[in-house]
Structure 1
Amino acid sequence: MFSKFVESYYMWAVPMRKHGMVPEHSFFQALNSWLIAIMPDKFYNKVEQGSIVLKKAIKFSFCRDGIIVQGESALIKSDIVIFATGYNGDQKLKELFASPMFREIVVGTPSTAVPLYRLCVHPRIPQLAIVGYSESMGDLHTSEIWSKWLAHFLDGGFQLPTISSMEEIVKEWEAYMKRYSGDYFRRSCVGSVGIWPNDQLCKDMRCEPRRKNGFLADWVVPYEPADYAGVSPRK
């Protein structure tokens, strides 16, 4: 309900429909796979003025004078083209390894989520932990809490479950992502369920997962990164 309300509000407040920029995915899917973009101030004002031109194209190509967009009769003249494609995290993980086997299993298959236990450790690749692959509304906090968890593990604070147990937990996360993120299930995002993985990490470190003072506050007061500043792992 909250996601539908926010989606309706943005459709009313931002002229996306007028300029043909309505996303194919819902706000709920965007929140679960962290496909939310930050719009610069007065962005659509500049679109109205013509200083920003929006084009949708499945295919385009470069030429001497600029860009040719599929379906357009005229080329887009430009002196400089910034080819911003984003980041390909899966490919970066593959390139960490020389072993063909590890390169094949580290990111799974196109039909599965990236198989990381606690979104950090691969069950079948020893001595490998990945911090920073999972995203949230505050990536600095997300990486920090995972770093604390990893440091506590390396210090002997707890042991990992068996490979089969870790793979079962990975499958549970995959089922959640496929259900709520649609075609974007491979993205490792905890944006809409941030408290849940933090609870898991706290329990592994034998810390109290409820970070508020009192039962009522724990239910109604929003959780923030500052609530986990005092997390102190115990053996």
Structure 2
Amino acid sequence: MDYSKMGSTKAKEMIQGKRVTVVGYLKSALDIAAECAEANGTEQPCTMIVRTKHWNIPDFYAWGVHISKLYLNRFAELLIHKPGEGFLLSLLATTLTPLIFSKFAESYYSIPMKKYDMVPDHSLFEALVTCSVATAPKDHYKRLEEGSIVLKKSKTFTFCKEGVFLEGESSPMKTDIVIFGTGYKGDEKINDMFKSKYFRSIAAGSTSTTVPLYRECIHPKIPQLAVLGYSQSLANLYTTELRAKWLTNFMDGGFRLPSIEAMQKDVLEWEKFVKCYSIGYFRRSCIGILNIWYNDQLCKDMGCNPRRKKGFLAELFEVYGPGDYANLHPK
């Protein structure tokens, strides 16, 4: 079922009055479950099979503080080891650990999650690094409370005549419709673009590495190929737009790419960073927690000033967002 058509009358009619099971517990799964709960209420609750617990936060405020102030400014990025940084900055990042900020936010967000035993084993900081955090739809926890959404934890499941059989359950869970809200594997989509066996074998790298894209865009060993939109951030649209400006400036002769060896070295440094902080989701190549640092690299390549604020304190403590790059004009 195409989720983009879930708003149509036909789609709602299809799930209305049915016993629906949604597999997954990130953004797409949460949104689909909300649609089902709205259509069927508590008479036919929507069941969610949760294989991996994720940080699903109700909003962006923790104890009244917007979490962008904890993570999305230059001071916050000082606390994080960055790809290829020198010894002194690395030592500073070790000393000024970001865990304090994470524990502050976790103490708030975990309150509604503890009730349903849905607090993840990994930290919120790790989730932000790998973009494995979602904003729960409004009234998600209220729907859990009223029973229009039911959570079932199970690492594996199988189909049976009655519906779905969960690991550890003695009887099957009766289901009319099963919807996979598990997303998709973007790295496989990159591989599938090619007919060449060689390019297919190197395009996305192996499953034990990050996808080898310089600046999360250019593959060092595949000429005339650029990939936009694979690497995620906490605000994908403006990150992709900035990356498109960088690519356009390169194609217009604004700067030259480094050597293949230099690009490969840069890719390996990024891989070390992601694996250092990730929880096994390093293939996502998320730039969320180093968004400013990443944008700095693009700005420097294009000959633009990466410092987008007015004044030292503003540069250090104010939140960076799309508006800071709205008037970015490559030289």
- TM-score of the superposed pair, with normalisation by structure 2: 0.68
Q: How far did residue 143 of structure 1 move? A: 0.3
In structure 2, the CA distance between the partners of 1:44 and 1:232, relative to structure 1 (3 Å rule), is same
1:125 aligns with 2:125: no
1:8 aligns with 2:107: yes
Mapped to 2, the partners of 1:41 and 1:71 lie a distance apart of: 31
Deviates more, 1:166-175 or 1:62-71: 62-71
Q: Which of residues 51, 63, 84 is equivalent to 2:148? A: 51
Asked if the contact 1:34–1:135 (Cα under 8 Å) also holds between the matched residues in 2, the reply is yes
Query: In the alignment, which residue of structure 1 is the partner of 2:264?
Result: 167
Q: How far did residue 47 of structure 1 move? A: 1.8
Q: How far did residue 64 of structure 1 move? A: 3.2
Asked if the contact 1:47–1:53 (Cα under 8 Å) also holds between the matched residues in 2, the reply is yes
Mapped to 1, the partners of 2:294 and 2:245 lie a distance apart of: 13
Q: Which of residues 208, 230, 234 is equivalent to 2:327? A: 230
Query: In the alignment, which residue of structure 1 is the partner of 2:297?
Result: 200
* Structure 1: stretches of 5+ with no match in the other structure: none
Query: In the alignment, which residue of structure 1 is the partner of 2:55?
Result: none
Mapped to 2, the partners of 1:26 and 1:218 lie a distance apart of: 27
Query: In the alignment, which residue of structure 2 is the partner of 1:138?
Result: 235
Q: SS of the counterpart of 1:2? A: helix
Q: How far did residue 124 of structure 1 move? A: 0.4
Cα offsets for 1:42-96 (capped at 9, x unmatched) = 2222222222111111221223332111211222222222122211101101101
Q: SS of the counterpart of 1:24? A: coil
Counterpart amino acid of 1:7? E
Deviates more, 1:137-146 or 1:3-12: 3-12
Query: In the alignment, which residue of structure 1 is the partner of 2:95?
Result: none
Query: In the alignment, which residue of structure 2 is the partner of 1:213?
Result: 310
RMSD, matched Cα: 1.3
Counterpart amino acid of 1:198? N
Mapped to 1, the partners of 2:291 and 2:262 lie a distance apart of: 22
Higher strand proportion (structure 1 or 2): 2
Query: In the alignment, which residue of structure 1 is the partner of 2:24?
Result: none
Q: How far did residue 155 of structure 1 move? A: 0.7
Mapped to 1, the partners of 2:194 and 2:274 lie a distance apart of: 26
1:76 aligns with 2:196: no
In structure 2, the CA distance between the partners of 1:82 and 1:227, relative to structure 1 (3 Å rule), is same
Asked if the contact 1:69–1:75 (Cα under 8 Å) also holds between the matched residues in 2, the reply is yes
Give the total of aligned pairs: 232
Q: How far did residue 231 of structure 1 move? A: 0.7
Query: In the alignment, which residue of structure 2 is the partner of 1:116?
Result: 213
Q: SS of the counterpart of 1:216? A: helix
Q: Which of residues 130, 147, 168 is equivalent to 2:244? A: 147
Greater relative contact order (Cα < 8 A, sep 6+): 2
Mapped to 2, the partners of 1:8 and 1:187 lie a distance apart of: 27
Q: SS of the counterpart of 1:62? A: strand
Counterpart amino acid of 1:4? K
- TM-score of the superposed pair, with normalisation by structure 1: 0.94
Asked if the contact 1:134–1:142 (Cα under 8 Å) also holds between the matched residues in 2, the reply is no
Asked if the contact 1:211–1:218 (Cα under 8 Å) also holds between the matched residues in 2, the reply is yes
Mapped to 2, the partners of 1:44 and 1:126 lie a distance apart of: 49
Mapped to 1, the partners of 2:282 and 2:299 lie a distance apart of: 25
* Structure 2: stretches of 5+ with no match in the other structure: 1-99
Q: How far did residue 10 of structure 1 move? A: 1.1
Mapped to 2, the partners of 1:85 and 1:136 lie a distance apart of: 18
Mapped to 1, the partners of 2:197 and 2:251 lie a distance apart of: 27
